[in-house]
Structure 1
Amino acid sequence: MGNLDKVMTSVEETINGSLLLLATAVLFVNVILRYVFHNSTTWAEEAIRYSIVWVTFFGGSMCARNKMHVGIDIFVQMAPPLIRKILMILAQLSAAFFTAMITYFGWVSTHLVIESAQKSPAMMMPIWIVYIAMPLGSALMTIRFLAAAYAILKDKTFGVEMVEKNGSVDISRL
């Protein structure tokens, strides 16, 4: 599992970093063209929008890896250890199920777009390149959530404890 994690992390970080850098550069050049030369490209906004779609789905996987997805866990933190463990596993499995559904329906949508041979309006690139970010990113999130559930099941460290031994809640961690 360690090698798969390293490969996935490398892919996620490379794609997100490259696309964010590219989007920033394209936006900067387009602003310069617009305000200095009074002329801008027709494809820049579309390219930035599509790169942000990719960053969103692959960033979701990075958030799942770093346990940064939004969750309300004050009741989980205050529960007895066995109940806490069960609730945390259920939360991870629920998230994995949800992202697995997004993966499936993302593949269905991507397949329909491939069959219809749609192209983007400004760049004229196959639009399936944008659509495929959904199933790929969601599949990575599913793997991350399943790995987190397995880690909790095997009693590996997970998350940050907000409830102190004396029962008080550390507000700074909320």
Structure 2
Amino acid sequence: MTPLKWLERNFEELICCTGLVVIAVSVFSQVVARYVFHVALHWTEEAASISMVWAVYMGASLCVRERFHIRIIIAVKALPVGFGRSVIFIADLLWALFCIFMVKVSWDYLAVLWKFPSHSPSLGINQFYPQSILVIGYGLMLIRLIQSYHTWWREGADGLPGMLDEDLAETTKDQEHQI
């Protein structure tokens, strides 16, 4: 596997895990500093909160890539395959449109932050950089959604897009049992 392919496959996990490590180190540092050395570290809360936001957005993108996002699978599986496919297409289309809308709004927000820089109180970093997760997160969710449909189409477009193989097998078995 090439390094670029590895990065494409593991990008979200890498950012999520890094964010969680930063959160753990920040909180642990604050606890040790406060209870052992009796001083407060002001940067830890800010570092942990920025890392948490980045981990959440990358986790959302990971869920899109793996198609683990919230769905009412029971309801979709109860529908005929053609109707269930339509429901999923409409839901994913609305989601894609929402992601496009959020990328646009986030881009405008970042333009304001770029024009009028604001620095974080404890770390002193330009807020443009941590806030860029909005464009990155929603853009990556949109890309991962498109990738999932591309993969589904390339693999024959059988069944419902985004259903796990075991869900698809169970759906087919349930529908055959009903006949």
Does the TM-score normalized on the shorter chain lie above 0.5? Answer: yes
1:23-72 deviations in Å (ceiling 9; x for gaps)? 11111111111111111211110110011111111111001111111122
How do 1:69-80 residues align onto structure 2 when only pairs under 5 Å count?
Answer: 69-80=69-80
More helix per residue: 2
**Are 2:18 and 1:50 aligned?**
no
Q: How does 1:148-167 map to 2 (within 5 A)?
A: 148-153=148-153, 154-155=156-157, 158-159=162-163, 160-161=167-168, 163=171, 164=174, 165-167=176-178
One-letter code aligned to 1:42 = H
- Tell me what 2:101 maps to: 101
- The residue type paired with residue 127 of structure 1 is Q
List aligned pairs for 1:58-97, cutoff 5 A. Answer: 58-97=58-97
- CA distance in 2 between counterparts of 1:51 and 1:34 reads 21
Alpha-carbon offset, residue 84 of structure 1: 1.7
Tell me the secondary structure at the aligned position of residue 136 of structure 1: helix
**How far 1:148 sits from its partner (Å)?**
2.5
Question: 1:22: Cα distance to partner?
Answer: 1.6
Deviations 1:121-165 (A, max 9, x none): 111100011210011011110011122234445415641245423
Partner SS for 1:71: coil
* Contact 2:29 2:44 (C-alpha < 8 Å) held by counterparts: no
Alpha-carbon deviations, 1:64-105, whole Å to 9, x = none?
Answer: 111111122433211212222222222222212211211111
Q: Report the 3-state secondary structure (helix = DSSP H, G, I; strand = E; otherwise coil) of the residue aligned with 1:26.
A: helix
Report the CA distance shift for 1:108/1:5 in structure 2 as closer, same or farther (over 3 A): farther
Residue identity (%): 24
Residue in structure 2 matched with residue 117 of structure 1 by the alignment: 117
Q: Which structure 1 segments of 5+ residues have no match?
A: 168-174
Letter in 2 for 1:137: G
- Looking at structure 2, the residues matched to 60 and 76 of structure 1 have their Cα atoms a distance apart, in angstroms, of 21
CA distance in 1, matches of 2:20, 2:64: 19
Taking structure 2 as the reference length, the TM-score comes to 0.82
Question: Does residue 133 of structure 1 match 2:133?
Answer: yes
Give, in angstroms, the shift of residue 4 of structure 1. 7.7
Letter in 2 for 1:89: F
- Give unpaired runs (5+ residues) of structure 2: none
TM-score by length of 1: 0.84
